Structure 1
Amino acid sequence: MRAALHTTALVWGMAITGLSSALAAELESATASLQTRPLERVLDGRIEAVHEATVSAQTSGRVVEIHYDVDDYVEKDALLLQFRDKDQRARYNAAKANYDEARAEFERVKDIYEKQLVAKSVLDKAEARLKSTKAAFEQASEELEHTRVRAPYSGIVVKRHVEVGELASVGQPLFTGISLELLRASVDIPQEMVRVVRQRQAARVLLDRNGQSSVDAESLRISPYADTRSHTFNVRVRLPEGDHGIYPGMFVKVAFVVDEARRLLIPRQAVVHRSEVTGAYVLDEQGGLHLRQLRIGEQFDDGMVEVLAGLEEGEQVALDPIRATAYYKEQQAGERQ
């Protein structure tokens, strides 16, 4: 089939014939070769956040400050909201004073005990008081910290549930947010694909329309059952951490590996674009240079492109189309003279 396509391929202009061997040597070239590459099936997907959570109140109190609103980006541990903390701070100060006093007393008694001036029971009593006041101090510190609500991870606020001045109770929702650190694409695949997708566990998310930029999936999570109406299986394609230029809610294309195939490949840099036509400069065995029309298929991340028609395995293509064009023009000028 390729032979037929090759013989019927269009040839632009005249071939540059009689190129010197030195000239042919100057043109860096690559060989069109058959290589085994994954055969993919591309389906539509939607980007989701892996982490989506609602932060709830861990103490009761009146809201006095709100530092972020809907659509704001929040860094991890940033202060989201402040409750009135007068009562908690008073308990904290009292507990800290008792703890500091008990610690000083324990150190004093310990020093005296080491000099064998007091009984062991006196030291044990001071140590017990120290532990008791320390526990009370830690509890008061935690209660005070609960008046300051912080972000559990970096992300975007998608909903705010309270207003300044509102009295909140324990367990009441305060903020809902999504993380941009970990994303996944949700895709529904037909039932005839589920077996091979389970076996190969390989997919990539296409970041642009022509598929030149993509990111490989870190993992695939396939639903154990099909939707009763559409008979499709949901697949969650998890992406590695990083900024990939995509956000929750966006539609994307996801390519699943379903097989392998031998494909005719050439480097992307050898491809020439002339208006709406695509081609490459091909070197023949006699040193001739031909500008030949090609039909290009998939483009791969490693810089190779698939040739569907117009080229045969083993043929040489020039890697510098600009220099090849210059040689062509020089040859044409020489023929006119």
Structure 2
Amino acid sequence: MKIESLPPLAPPPVEPTSARRRWRVPVIVLAVLAVAGGGYAYTHKGSASPAPAPAAAAEKKATVHELSARDIARVEARPLAVTLPLSGSLTPLAQATVKSKVSGVVLQTTVQEGMNVTAGQVIARLDDNEARARVAQQQAALNEASARLALAKKNMANSAALLKQNYIAQNAFDTTANAVDLAQASVDAARAQLELARISLADTAIRAPISGVVSKRHVQAGEKLSPDSPVFSIVDLKQLTLDAQVPASDIPRIKVGQEVQFKVDGFGERNFAGKVVRINPATEAGSRAMLVYIGVDNPDGVLRAGMFAKGMVTTEKSAPHALLPLLGVRKEGGRDVVYRVDGGKVEAKAVTLGLKNEDDGLVEAIDGIDPGALVLAVKLDGVKPGDKVKLPEATPATPAKKG
């Protein structure tokens, strides 16, 4: 077997002394800089600002306010009225208590409570036998007086002929002429008594003085009446008056001719209308209120006397203008502003206000907003101009701006 040995490794080349010195200096500088940088990073650890996030993450998603149907209102153009509350009872404008003009026994009554009557209709009859006898008696007295007058006139004619022939004196003629005058006076008196008797006979038939409804019957058949005894009470329901008490401090706002809207218990939401016709000049005893009389037409007769009514009198009324919810109007920069919703965004609109109705929560916008616009009905915290909002599904699209 042949054993071969490998040649010995060549020794590493020896660099010159000047070359070793050239690469040692940069290495030492880099080491120093590395140590210095590490120390600076260590001492400023925790105070360094975080690295900026990517642009997509930096953009914050815009907030969208979801509105309810109560938060918004559609601007409507119509007249605005300022009202004053009032209440009172209904009374008939025309009513009458029918009384007997003569004495007599009631034979019959032809109507009862709740029945309609017309003016001149007979509603009761009295026993007229005595009245008829009185008419006959006065007719006889008239006939007697007429006969005496005829005789007196005949005597005067004869006396005139005799006086013309100078058969009698002037005094005798004057006596017969005076007898004619007396007889004529007796005839006139008898005729007047006969007329009174006939009137009394006619009054035994008691008639309704006005058209209306019988509200009360005071007598029954068989009762004896004396003059001025009440027989029936009749009310005319075609015209009613609402007697309303108004505080004296509010009376300056009330004027004749102002419109009144009111409701009556039992008729649900039905509205009735009237107008101020009179104002009492004095306050009611024991109060500081004054009566205001409101005329009410009642052609169908559904309203009745004594019903209680509550309503409003219109003290001021404007021409049709855009109406805004009063709670949605705010003050910004010394001006009145309302927030309008347009295209899903909120924008501030400066408005000029007019008449206010605090009871209905409405205010008139004379300028600055168009009818049909959608506005915030209340002040919502966190909602400001430029914000995006989401409307309820039932809300119609906002009309386009005019101009």
TM-score interval, smaller chain: 0.5 to 0.7
Match of 1:166 in 2: 223
Q: Name the TM-score, length of structure 2 as normaliser.
A: 0.50
Q: 1:98 to 1:222 in 2, by over 3 A?
A: same
The separation in 2 between residues aligned to 1:104 and 1:154, in whole angstroms, is 46
- Letter in structure 1 aligned against 2:202: E
- Aligned residue in 2 for 1:287: none
Asked if 1:44 corresponds to 2:44, the answer is: no
Which residue of the partner structure matches residue 76 of structure 1?
A: 119
Residue of structure 2 in register with 1:299 after alignment? none
Determine the C-alpha separation between the residues in 1 that align with 2:269 and 2:210.
Answer: 34
Contact 2:261 2:271 in 1 (8 A): no
> Residues of 2 paired with 1:244 and 1:70: CA distance?
15
Corresponding residue for 1:222?
Answer: 280
**What CA distance in whole angstroms lies between the structure 1 residues aligned with 2:271 and 2:106?**
50
User: Is 1:154 equivalent to 2:197 in the alignment?
Assistant: no
Can you list the C-alpha shifts for 1:137-183, whole angstroms capped at 9, x where unaligned?
Answer: 12212222232222121122222121111122233222222222431
TM-score, normalized by length of structure 1? 0.58
Residue in structure 1 matching 2:290, options 221, 227, 233: 233
- The AA in structure 1 aligned to 2:260 is R
Segments of 5+ residues of structure 2 without an aligned counterpart are 1-70, 162-172, 324-361, 374-403
Alignment match, 1:4 = none
Query: Which structure would you say has the larger RCO, counting Cα contacts within 8 Å and 6 or more residues apart?
Result: 1
Note closer, same or farther for the CA distance 1:239–1:46 as it changes in structure 2 (3 Å cut): same
**Equivalences for 1:1-337 in 2 at 5 Å?**
9=72, 38-99=81-142, 102=145, 120-197=177-254, 199=255, 202-206=258-262, 214-217=273-276, 219-222=277-280, 224-226=282-284, 228=286, 231-239=288-296, 245-261=302-318, 263-264=320-321
Task: Determine helix, strand or coil for the equivalent of 1:170.
Answer: coil
Residue 271 of structure 1: aligned partner: none
Q: CA deviation at 1:74?
A: 1.4
The one-letter amino acid paired with 1:236 is: Y
Q: Between Structure 1 and Structure 2, whose CA radius of gyration is higher?
A: 2
Fraction of identical pairs, as percent = 21
Measure how far apart 1:64 and its partner are: 0.8
Distance 2:120 2:231 in 1: 15
Contact 1:205 1:252 in 2 (8 A): no
Query: In 1, Cα distance between the equivalents of 2:214 and 2:301?
Result: 20
Deviations 1:243-272 (A, max 9, x none): 575332333344323334465379xxxxxx
State the AA in 2 paired with 1:86: N
Q: What secondary structure is seen at the aligned counterpart in 2 of 1:134?
A: helix
1:79, 1:258 → 2: CA distance?
46
Q: Kindly state the Cα deviation for residue 97 of structure 1 after the two structures are TM-superposed.
A: 4.0
Residues 111 and 51 of structure 1: CA distance in aligned 2, closer, same or farther (over 3 Å):
farther
Query: In the TM superposition, what whole-angstrom CA distance separates every residue of 1:204-247 from its partner, at most 9, and x where no partner exists?
Result: 24478767763434x12336124636x54332223468657533
> Residues 239 and 114 of structure 1: is their aligned pair in 2 closer, same or farther, counting only changes over 3 Å?
farther
Partners of 1:47 and 1:71 lie apart in 2 by: 17
Between the aligned partners of 1:211 and 1:111, the Cα distance in structure 2 is 80
Change in 2 beyond 3 A, CA 1:34/1:72: closer
SS at match of 2:250: helix
Q: Is residue 88–residue 243 contact of structure 2 (8 Å, CA) maintained in 1? A: yes
Whether the 8 Å contact between 1:157 and 1:178 is mirrored in structure 2 is: yes
Structure 2 counterpart SS, 1:176:
strand
- 2:322 and 2:197 map into 1 onto residues whose CA distance is 69
1:268-310, Cα deviation, whole Å (9 max, x unpaired): xxxxxxxxxxxxxxxxxxxxxxxxxxxxxxxxxxxxxx9989x
Compared CA separation, residues 227 and 140, structure 1 to 2 (3 A): closer
Residues 161, 214 of structure 1: CA spacing in aligned structure 2 closer, same or farther, 3 A cutoff?
closer
Name stretches of at least 5 consecutive residues in structure 1 with no aligned partner. 1-7, 12-31, 267-305, 318-337
1:182 partner SS: strand
One-letter amino acid of the structure 2 residue matched with residue 225 of structure 1? T
Q: Distance between the aligned counterparts of 1:163 and 1:189, measured in 2?
A: 42
